[in-house]
Amino acid sequence: MTDILVYITSGLGAIFVLLAAIGTLRMPDQYLRISVNTKAATLGVGLLLTASALFFLETSVTTRVIAVIIFIFITAPVGAHLIGRTSYFIGNALWGKSVTDDLKDKYNKITHELKSHKEEKEHEDENDTKS
Amino acid sequence: MNVHDFLYYIILPILSISSLLVFVRFFQGPSIVDRVVALDLLITIGIGIIAIYSILSNKPTFLDISLVLALIAFLGTVAFAYYLEKRNKDD
């Protein structure tokens, strides 16, 4: 019974990791590559670790596997956000066919501060009262 | 076909091929951000290979190394992001 579960989880994990690798190679843009890495690779590695936990079925192995999975699930989005922010500051252009760029003209390039939505609203209110 | 054959002849080759594909991106990446992302993905695939190898060799002690590798991948990404953001374009 556990053998079948090991087959399923390890096979799905390997397929997800392969999809992440193909996406990293074929995606046209840094931001799309980061997106592929964060989602597909994290899920694939989580499934592979789950396969080893299901194979051994010991408390010590399971706790170790859970620790690794929780660590990866916490750190992968944080790292992806940091490297994506850096890529935006360095000035890497978006893919030509990307439709929206919500951060356009909102980052101060010198102080690296994001112009907040609230400030913009107040500005609009001032304009309204003036007019 | 038991679990060992399945892992040895199907899962490990798939993981090796995917790490080769990521290596291609690592070498030809147009910007340095691509290389950092590819390095992160390489270490993540390494964690998966360690998990499978611990089943094959029947030694769960190898899973400790995967925790260390996950920590190194995260710290490397954070350090690269921090210093690339601080760097002036003229350097």
Distance, CA of A50 to CA of A62 (rounded, Å)? 8
Q: What pTM value is reported for the model?
A: 0.85
- The pLDDT value recorded for residue A119 is 57
Question: Is B91 inside a domain boundary?
Answer: no
pLDDT value of position A85: 87
pLDDT band at A120 (very low <50, low <70, confident <90, very high): low
Q: Give CA–CA dist B15/A33, Å, rounded.
A: 18
**Residues B18-67: tens digit of each pLDDT:** 999 999 999 987 888 899 999 999 999 999 999 999 999 999 999 999 99
Q: Let me know if residue B17 belongs to a domain.
A: yes
* pLDDT > 90? residue A13: yes
Write down the ipTM of this complex.
Answer: 0.90
pLDDT of residue A121: 55
Percent share of chain A, pLDDT over 90: 50
Host H or E run for residue B59: none
Contact criterion met (CB < 8 Å) for A85 and B85? yes
The residue range of the domain holding B31 is 3-86
Give me chain A's average pLDDT, please.
84
What would the two tokens of residue A112 be?
């690296």
**Element counts in chain B: helices (H) and strands (E):** 4, 0
Domain tally, chain B: 1
Provide DSSP, A61-99: HHHHHHHHHHHHHHHHHHHHHHHHHHHHHHTPPPPTT--
Encode pLDDT of A44-97 as tens digits.
Answer: 999 999 999 999 999 999 999 999 999 999 999 999 999 988 888 887 777 877
Which residues from chain B sit within 8 angstroms of residue A43, using beta carbons? Answer: none
* Cβ contacts from A onto B, under 8 A: 157
Kindly state the DSSP code that residue B36 receives in the 8-state scheme.
H
Nearest CA in chain B to A38: B41
Six token digits for residue A24:
């990293």
